[in-house]
Amino acid sequence: MTSKTTGKKTGYLLGAVAGAGVMAAAVAGAGMRMPEANAGQLQGGLIKASTAPIFAPPPGAPMSFADIFDRVSPAVVSINVTSRVSAESLRQIPGFPFNIIPRQPGGGEDGGDEGGQTERGQPRLPTQQSAGSGFFVSADGYIVTNNHVVENAEKITVVLKDETELEATVVGRDEATDLAVIKVKGGRGPYPFVNFENAARPRVGDWVITVGNPFGLGGTATAGIVSAYGRDIGETFVDFIQIDAPINRGNSGGPTFDVYGRVIGVNTAIFSPSGGSVGIGFAIPAEVADGVVKQLINGGRIERGYIGATIQNFTSEMAEASGLGDQKGAIVADLTPGGPSARAGLQVGDIVTSINGQAIRSSSELTRQVARARPGDQLRLEVVRDGRRQNVTIRSGVRPSERDLQASNDNSAPGSRTPGAPGAQTAPQPPVLGMSFGVLDQAARQRLSLPAEVRGALVESVNQNSDAATKGLRRGDVITRANDRAVTSAAELAAVVEAAKKAGRTSVLVGVYRGGRTSFLPLKVSG
């Protein structure tokens, strides 16, 4: 199972619990994140009643969670969402657009849609139903849930514990943390609500209880323990809490409580090879959720620090290739032209080892530290450049929205390239690191749509038995850096490789430009 962005073994639980019948995969609803779902089977036999516990609970375990459930469950709600199926999803259905089933005239919320068409004569996209969970955080009707539960909602219905149904509207959403706030319409309150616990969080091994709407079964409680803190599942701004209390489709946005009935997390993801709960769930920590929720309720835009740099993990293999022992950190792969980092003098290939005196062990840690900064804050980065340590001070900017950043990345990347004829060769050159190289001249730039500022050694072929081939290099890639220096030709790359061999290193750290982006990876010198 892999996530949609990182390839890590996690996924969004589809919190949508479809109504009657089987819904096409393309119109599956929003809700908790996960990979492909397989139907479970009930096994088993006779359920036998017992008047006494069959076994004693573990030491320290409560005999019952009933008192906690009675106190907190009125604040937990089921969220039913009606949303419009995206055209992109429908394109994946054979026969689109001719297999759209229009809504009946006079039926549903689009009553006047005769023939299932818009005013411009285009077919109106069908709707889908999905479900998730949420919880009141104020007496006047504010509810916390996941962003992916409500992000495409056209209609939101909140179902209370007593089965009262209320309409709700979106107050604010934050894609980066997958959090959202909605508010019920009307003045029926005050509503029962619960509070976030930001200080005395449970220890690993302490009991927790979740309440939510799995598979449309509202008001469902499950119990377990805190399994771990600080889980990185590929999300940029959140170190997740791992719990083993069973959570499933529809639990998205529901709360995880400690044994005092305080919210310690917001359920958002599971790891599941089978599609159901296997006891590995993830919740957004209360300290993250509380800050985001308060900003959304106050109508404020979620502002995060920004330095305008693309970074990646600096791994132990990269450190060995660079002669830096066991150094951890984040390596700068690209800079946004005119951005805060570029203005401050940060360079591609710099290895960031600390920020404001706090050690950095990964790209995620650096991203989260920068995000916590306020626009205008001074950020002092310690970097390793050309084998020497130095400081770079950057004034934080304002991070664009995730959608704007993605659009910027898409626009900066010319897209998939299919290299044409080899570039001009002045003379045959011997392979380096299992690759043959051509000249990066004007003809090659036009053929590959390479910007003028990209300089390096142009890969013309890759030996399929080499480490370079194993790690995905291909014709049309441009090697821009090797270890701590820029390279512009195969000869310069070969010189770096020879120097690495003489120094007793087994690999060389190279920067590879492809599709508008640079990535670093170590290549074995024997390749």
Q: What is the mean pLDDT of residues 210-234?
A: 87
Name the β-bridge partners of 309: 335
Amino acid (one-letter) located at 385: R
Calculate the average pLDDT of the chain.
Answer: 78
178 is catalytic: yes
Token pair belonging to 245? 């209390």
pLDDT tens, position by position, 97-133:
333 333 333 333 333 333 455 445 556 667 788 889 9
- Percent over 70 (pLDDT), the chain: 74
pLDDT of res. 433: 92
Most confident of the ranges 156-170, 274-288, 293-307: 156-170
pLDDT of res. 152: 85
Is residue 378 predicted with pLDDT exceeding 70?
yes
- Provide the b/e sequence for 245-272 (b: ≥16 CB within 10 Å): bbbbbbbbbbbbbbbebbbbbbbbbbbb
pLDDT tens, position by position, 129-178:
888 999 999 999 999 999 999 988 899 999 999 999 999 999 999 988 99
**Spatial CA neighbour of 291 closest among 243, 344, 237, 252:** 237
Most confident of the ranges 175-189, 211-225, 352-366, 421-435: 352-366
- 435-524: which CATH topology? Pdz3 Domain (2.30.42)
Question: Which is catalytic among the residues 113, 174, 178, 244?
Answer: 178
Report the alpha-carbon distance of residue 393 to residue 341 in Å, rounded.
Answer: 9
Question: Which is catalytic among the residues 130, 148, 277, 334?
Answer: 148
- CATH superfamily ID and name for 305-412: PDZ domain (2.30.42.10)
pLDDT of res. 23: 32
pLDDT of res. 26: 31
Is residue 95 predicted with pLDDT exceeding 80?
no
Using DSSP, state whether 208 is helix, strand or coil: strand
Is residue 213 predicted with pLDDT exceeding 50?
yes
pLDDT of res. 449: 87
Instruction: Give the H/E segment covering residue 495.
Output: helix 490-502
At 24, is the pLDDT very low, low, confident or very high (cuts 50, 70, 90)? very low
Q: What is the mean pLDDT of residues 393-411?
A: 76
* Window from 156-165, 194-203, 287-296, 470-479 with minimum mean pLDDT: 194-203
What DSSP line would sit under 342-410, residue for residue?
A: HHHT--TT-EEEEETTEE--SHHHHHHHHHHSPTT-EEEEEEEETTEEEEEEEE-EEPPPHHHHHHHHH
- 1-33+63-106+123-302: which CATH topology? Thrombin, subunit H (2.40.10)
Token pair belonging to 113? 């849609």
pLDDT of res. 124: 63
pLDDT of res. 289: 93
pLDDT of res. 301: 76
pLDDT of res. 425: 43
Give the list of residues 6+ apart from residue 139 with CB closer than 8 angstroms, or none: 189, 190, 191, 193
Question: Which is catalytic among the residues 73, 78, 130, 252?
Answer: 252
Report the alpha-carbon distance of residue 334 to residue 354 in Å, rounded.
Answer: 18
Contact between 81 and 129 under an 8 Å Cβ cutoff? The reply is yes
Give the list of residues 6+ apart from residue 512 with CB closer than 8 angstroms, or none: 473, 477, 478, 479, 480, 518, 519, 520, 521
Token pair belonging to 391? 């400081």
Could you tell me which residue, 121 or 255, shows the higher pLDDT?
A: 255
Q: What is the mean pLDDT of residues 62-90?
A: 81
Is residue 415 predicted with pLDDT exceeding 70?
no
Angle at 277 between CA 271 and CA 283, to 5 degrees: 60
pLDDT of res. 88: 55
At 429, is the pLDDT very low, low, confident or very high (cuts 50, 70, 90)? low
Q: What is the mean pLDDT of residues 15-37?
A: 36
pLDDT of res. 122: 57
pLDDT of res. 62: 65
Report the alpha-carbon distance of residue 133 to residue 166 in Å, rounded.
Answer: 14
Is residue 352 predicted with pLDDT exceeding 70?
yes
C-alpha separations of 388 from 335, 349, 508 in Å: 20, 12, 18
Strand 142-146 and strand 179-184: the pairing is: antiparallel
Could you tell me which residue, 125 or 243, shows the higher pLDDT?
A: 243
- Percent over 90 (pLDDT), the chain: 46
Most confident of the ranges 60-69, 120-129, 179-188, 420-429: 179-188
Using DSSP, state whether 83 is helix, strand or coil: strand
pLDDT of res. 235: 63
441 is catalytic: no
pLDDT of res. 459: 94
Give the domain ranges of the chain: 1-33+63-106+123-302, 305-412, 435-524
pLDDT of res. 61: 59
pLDDT of res. 381: 96
pLDDT of res. 75: 94
1-33+63-106+123-302 against 435-524: fold identical: no
Q: What is the mean pLDDT of residues 344-371?
A: 93
pTM value surpassing 0.75: no
